[in-house]
Amino acid sequence: MARKAMEYKAKQPPKFKVRKYNRCPLCGRVHSYMRAFDMCRCCFRKLAREGKIPGVVKSSW
């Protein structure tokens, strides 16, 4: 319930713009958010491994 409430709160426009923070739209995670891909590292890793993010490949050496 707390996570749902925080996701809802994040969607509301803040009273002051410095209070805005980014959330992953897929899972709602706050930390380790990547702006370039608009998702958190967990979702990024999962989608990259499935090949759903164009231009991202797993490195092997």
Check the annotation: does 42 bind a ligand: no
Check the annotation: does 27 bind a ligand: yes
**34: phi then psi, degrees, rounded to nearest 5:** -110, 115
Q: Where do we find the tokens 């797993």?
A: 58
**Mean pLDDT to the nearest integer, 49-55:** 90
Per-residue pLDDT reduced to its tens digit, 1-51? 677 888 888 888 888 988 888 889 888 888 999 999 999 999 999 999 998
Domain boundaries, the chain: 22-52
CATH 4.10.830.10 fits 22-52, yes or no: yes
DSSP H stretches of helix in the chain: 2-11, 41-50
